[in-house]
Structure 1
């Protein structure tokens, strides 16, 4: 896995931990659902574009989501290039990588990186069909984005023993990038772990901004214990 980072990224306000780019027909019912489940279990807040009405091109709402995500995970599959929407997403992601230092992680799911880079094989056939009738500058931008993303060392489904191990590895590496440090401090406290995970899922911990959280509730529900394990934040408990 490789990543790109820059001090300029600190100027952005992160709204999401991860922006996930994928071709639904290849992965939605299987691999993707397991990825989302694993991310959620680890407190990783993911943006996917299921709720956005798709038009002819990537709109401002999606551009905003891409630019304000700490990490972009590109799930490259056999039919990824059959979607002009996915290709436009990828162009914007690679633009953000270059301009803002956004971290980009790649997963090659049942597709070889060389096919992505050179647009050959089944991947290339899908790409050629998508290019029909498109302006040359659009096709060139797509080719460049595919070439660049394929050059990022990533995760290969063909190289892992099973998908569960692959997904766990990706999620763990995302946690490390976000600064999520596992702790056993609250293992003996029933219900505390879930509360801390929920709090972390709403925060980007790697930031120069000061964050203050108020924990409200009656005596005895675990406010002080929760505050104690959230060491990276300024926390106020109020009964």
Structure 2
């Protein structure tokens, strides 16, 4: 349902990260995967316009894959696309609180407020709690 992409200053220097980014965007377009970008120690506008370390990284990829390479072009396009999404920005936030707020946001999306049909049902609460544990999400009572 979700892909959380942590974008950091050296993200574009990793071809593995860039290939994963392409795959994540393919899933978004084909099956509606929701993407939550986390801008960790980077400015989204620097990424979008490929400034600083991002520009350097792409310039280093070009000699390896060829000037005007289709692969590098696709990486650049994917990188610009993900940088244009609204997401979480770590600027001026305590790291633990930052991670906690992202987890809470995802939890609210995955486990919406329980619908009223679960009220007054014998035994449903414990079973629902077990299902939530199985999918790896802490149940907040």
- TM-score grouping bracket, smaller chain normalisation: 0.7 to 0.9
The equivalent residue for 2:73 is 140
Alignment of 1:1-239 (within 5 A): 70-135=1-66, 136-158=69-91, 160-179=92-111, 181=113, 196=129, 199-203=131-135
Report the TM-score, using the length of structure 2 for normalisation.
0.77
Structure 2: gaps spanning 5 or more residues: 115-125
The CA distance in 1 between the partners of 2:133 and 2:31, in whole Å, is 23
**Aligned-residue offset at 1:180:** 5.4
User: Which structure carries more helix by proportion?
Assistant: 2
Cα separation, partners in 2 of 1:85 and 1:201, compared to 1, 3 Å: farther
User: Which structure carries more strand by proportion?
Assistant: 1
The size of the alignment, in residue pairs, is 124
**Counterpart contact for 2:61–2:72, Cα < 8 Å:** no
**Counterpart contact for 1:108–1:156, Cα < 8 Å:** yes
**Counterpart contact for 1:107–1:156, Cα < 8 Å:** yes
**Counterpart contact for 1:83–1:130, Cα < 8 Å:** no
Q: Using CA pairs below 8 Å that are at least 6 residues apart, which structure has the higher relative contact order?
A: 2
Report the TM-score, using the length of structure 1 for normalisation.
0.47
Q: Deviations over 1:26-50 (max 9, x none)?
A: xxxxxxxxxxxxxxxxxxxxxxxxx
The CA distance in 1 between the partners of 2:63 and 2:40, in whole Å, is 25
Structure 1: gaps spanning 5 or more residues: 1-69, 183-192, 205-228, 230-239
RMSD between superposed Cα atoms in Å: 2.6
**Aligned-residue offset at 1:202:** 3.0
